[in-house]
Structure 1
Amino acid sequence: MSLINSEIKPFSAQAYQNGKFVSVSDADLKGKWSVVFFYPADFTFVCPTELEDLADTYGEFQKLGVEIYSVSTDTHFSHKAWADTSPAIGKIKYVMVGDPSGVITNNFGVMREGQGLADRGTFLVDPQGVIQFMEITAEGIGRNAAELLRKVKAAQYVASHPGEVCPAKWEEGEKTLAPSLDLVGKI
């Protein structure tokens, strides 16, 4: 079942960010654009490469007013231990949410049944708390922060320009489309 255009469900959790434990809830995602980035587990293999890639582009997301929330079913204590021991994870400045109860992971529909682990799910939430983009990949398929950033820019453009849409491979500043009867069969 697609969660596109659905409002995020209530949650509250503990997280790790910049050497501190912080509380996070669904209310924190509202009022700004947010990326909720699920991954299977701390101390694994593909996950740190994805999280480091996000850490390296975090400043670009922040320039767009986007906050990143990485989420796994590990605890916030595990996130801290991982940040303390891994140079890649130690770079992270965004929020690392612990979801040992699985509430958030289940809310977004990415819990692996019977395993207690999240699938690789990426969700873009608009300032109203509505999911505008989602992507779920198999275990061994890592994600690309640059491509996510491009999609965020496209979603923000469409949100601020009613009546326009972004074609495939659209990059900021390029031409968009205005869907109409005149375009049917001409693209």
Structure 2
Amino acid sequence: MNMKNVVLSLGAEFPAFNKKSVVSIEKGKEFYDLSYDEIKNAGKWLVMFWWPKDFTFVCPTEIAEFNKHYNDFVDRDTVLVGASTDSEFVHLAWRNNHDDLRGLQFPMLADTSKTLAEELGILEESEKIAYRATFIVDPQGIIRWVSLYDLNVGRNVKEVLRVLDALQTDELCPCNWQKGEATLTA
């Protein structure tokens, strides 16, 4: 692996973007231009998760699991966005072709120029695809959590929610802390 790319990390400002996304499989309502300003101006948290390629094997298991927990993110005042470097047309074809993806409730962002993946530092060097990455961004636009997984390993959506819960307490949370448990006092 070439270490040329530096992953944006904790405390960094999440980059601005305006990208095509797939939001529906209904004819005439498939596409939407999603901008980061829209999310930030709404005062919401952002969870953006990336997968390497559409029409693969590990990716739909993760996307479907994020979708199962969609309302958990909404309940936490969080916008959920999935993304890859595939085009909006490939995203739409995959949604139409895969039973687990037809009813997605969140946008599938198309970073066809690969500029956002590159700015985030998650663009794999040889194939120019995104790593399996997840970013939690606070309402001020600051990255509060980043996780990266090997291309062959799926992530744990419940862990993303656990970390989001902990960050939203704005308190000290011990190891394995779960929502509803006591936080620490200094």
TM superposition score normalised by structure 1? 0.89
Counterpart for residue 118 of structure 1: 130
Matches within 5 A, 1:17-166: 17-19=23-25, 20-30=30-40, 31-158=43-170, 164-166=171-173
After TM superposition, give the deviation of residue 74 of structure 1 in Å.
0.3
Structure 1, gaps ≥5 residues long: 159-163, 180-187
After TM superposition, give the deviation of residue 90 of structure 1 in Å.
1.2
Q: Structure 1: which amino acid aligns with 2:181?
A: E
Structure 2, gaps ≥5 residues long: 1-5
After TM superposition, give the deviation of residue 108 of structure 1 in Å.
1.2
SS of aligned partner of 2:166: helix
Alignment: residue pair count: 174
Q: Structure 2: which amino acid aligns with 1:22?
A: Y
Question: Which contiguous aligned blocks of 4+ residues in structure 1 show a shift greater than 4 angstroms?
Answer: none
Q: Structure 2: which amino acid aligns with 1:137?
A: Y
Return the match for 1:5 from 8, 11, 15. Answer: 11
SS of aligned partner of 2:69: helix
Question: Following the alignment from structure 2 to structure 1, what is the Cα–Cα distance between the partners of residues 11 and 38?
Answer: 18
Return the match for 1:177 from 155, 162, 184. Answer: 184
Q: Structure 2: which amino acid aligns with 1:168?
A: C
After TM superposition, give the deviation of residue 175 of structure 1 in Å.
1.1
SS of aligned partner of 1:35: strand
Question: Following the alignment from structure 2 to structure 1, what is the Cα–Cα distance between the partners of residues 62 and 38?
Answer: 23
Counterpart for residue 168 of structure 1: 175
Deviations 1:150-182 (A, max 9, x none): 111111111xxxxx3111111111111123xxx
TM superposition score normalised by structure 2? 0.90
- 1:27–1:95 CA distance, 2 compared to 1 (3 A): same
Note the aligned Cα RMSD (angstroms).
1.1
Question: Following the alignment from structure 1 to structure 2, what is the Cα–Cα distance between the partners of residues 141 and 90?
Answer: 23
SS of aligned partner of 1:132: strand
Deviations 1:115-168 (A, max 9, x none): 12000000001111110000001011101111111111111111xxxxx31111
Larger-gyration structure (1/2): 1
CA contact (8 A) 1:40 1:117 kept: yes
Deviations 1:77-102 (A, max 9, x none): 11111110101111311010001110
